[in-house]
């Protein structure tokens, strides 16, 4: 697939996907959403790729939200399609991905931009990043999973504080809330992203995918997370990764997954 609003590059076993619409603060239009679907699908199917970084072009914004101009004249039916397609094609795809996806938040992460980061498995941010869900200022609510994933991550009280006030918080506050994992300088943001994903890439890919499924199951009301953990745990025993991990440990060498 050819990409017009994404930049794609690989470093070691990590794929970097950069949303490249700097003049509009990387706001998510339909082209970007379709390209993200394509780029993520490709990365997830590519055996050389063991982790994915999502970031925004420039130093000002990760993603300043869904493209407000694009949905300005929408009615309820169009709003329904926008949210449903977005959930299915991008946000749920990220949430359920069997490879770790990390949001490298290089500036504003607002509205759909914060929701994109929330769908990822890990989030790191620069000190001047600003995070928020400003939808209620537009007469909307978050529609790409923000009401659910923010609540799961930081708890109901803090999620409602952010959603109802629409205020942006600093990266430092986001770290305190558990909304981001680490805060690092802009100059080393992508280096840190690579370092984290390379660490995960050195672990069993089968076990990493199973752990994501088990953790996600606990957040899914239609599933019993403990049961899913038991099943996923048991299935690990039949894998080549398990044989390699255990024999490497017993032979006092590093595993080669
Ligand atoms: N959708 C569409 N365009 C957007 C956008 C969005 N979510 N966010 C920023 N842009 C555009 C601006 O319209 C502007 O375009 P222009 O130069 O053609 O006028 C450009 O990006 C630069 O943004 P600007 O507002 O001039 O930058 P700023 O530094 O003054 O303010 C923000 C930065 C992030 C505070 C401000 O852009 C903003 O509030 N954006 C909307 C955030 C939002 O509500 N997101 C949720 C959407 S559901």
pLDDT level of residue 210 (50, 70, 90 thresholds): very high
**Two structure tokens written together for 153:** 């991550």
Mean pLDDT of the chain: 98
Does the predicted model carry a pTM greater than 0.75? yes
Q: In terms of C-beta density within 10 A (0-12 exposed, 13-18 middle, 19 or more buried), how is residue 199 classed? A: exposed
Q: Tell me: the pLDDT tens digits for 132-188?
A: 999 999 999 999 999 999 999 999 999 999 999 999 999 999 999 999 999 999 999
* Atom 36 of ligand 1, residue of closest alpha carbon: 64
Contact, 241 vs 207, CB < 8 A?
Answer: yes
pLDDT number for residue 42: 98
Facing residues of 157 across strands?
none
Pocket test for ligand 1, best of 21, 25, 71 (most atoms within 8 A of CB): 25
Residue 7 has pLDDT above 90, yes or no: yes
| Residues belonging to the active site | 115, 135
Distance 20 CA to ligand 1 centre (A): 15
Q: Tell me: the pLDDT tens digits for 87-137?
A: 999 999 999 999 999 999 999 999 999 999 999 999 999 999 999 999 999
pLDDT number for residue 1: 86
List, edge to edge, every strand of the sheet that includes 122-125.
6-11, 14-19, 51-56, 101-105, 122-125, 182-183
pLDDT level of residue 39 (50, 70, 90 thresholds): very high
Going by C-alpha positions, the residue among 44, 62, 33 that lies closest to residue 129 is 62
**Two structure tokens written together for 126:** 């620069």
* Atom 4 of ligand 1, residue of closest alpha carbon: 24
Distance 28 CA to ligand 1 centre (A): 11
pLDDT level of residue 10 (50, 70, 90 thresholds): very high
Rounded distance between C-alpha atoms, residue 241 and residue 237, angstroms: 9
Rounded distance between C-alpha atoms, residue 244 and residue 240, angstroms: 6
């Amino acid at each position: 697939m050819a990409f017009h609003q994404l930049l794609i590059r690989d470093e070691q076993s990590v794929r970097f996907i950069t949303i490249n619409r700097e003049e509009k603060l990387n706001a998510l239009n339909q082209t970007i959403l379709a390209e993200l679907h394509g780029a993520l699908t490709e990365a997830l199917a590519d055996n050389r790729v063991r982790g994915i970084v999502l970031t925004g072009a420039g130093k000002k914004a990760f993603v300043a939200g869904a493209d407000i101009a694009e949905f300005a004249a929408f009615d309820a039916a169009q709003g329904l399609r926008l949210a449903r397609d977005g959930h299915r094609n991008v946000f749920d795809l990220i949430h359920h991905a069997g490879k770790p996806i990390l949001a490298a938040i290089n500036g504003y992460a607002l509205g759909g931009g914060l929701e994109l980061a929330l769908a990822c498995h890990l989030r790191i941010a620069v000190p001047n990043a600003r995070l928020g869900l400003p939808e209620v200022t537009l007469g909307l609510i978050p529609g790409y999973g923000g009401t659910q994933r923010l609540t799961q991550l930081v708890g109901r009280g803090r999620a409602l504080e952010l959603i109802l006030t629409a205020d942006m918080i600093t990266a430092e506050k986001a770290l305190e809330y558990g909304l981001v994992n680490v805060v690092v300088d802009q100059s080393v943001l992508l280096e840190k992203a690579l370092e984290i994903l390379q660490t995960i890439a050195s672990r069993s890919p089968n076990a990493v995918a199973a752990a994501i499924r088990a953790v996600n199951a606990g957040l899914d009301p239609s599933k019993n997370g403990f049961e899913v953990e038991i099943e996923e745990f048991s299935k690990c025993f039949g894998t080549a990764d398990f044989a390699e991990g255990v024999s490497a440990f017993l032979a006092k060498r590093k595993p080669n997954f």
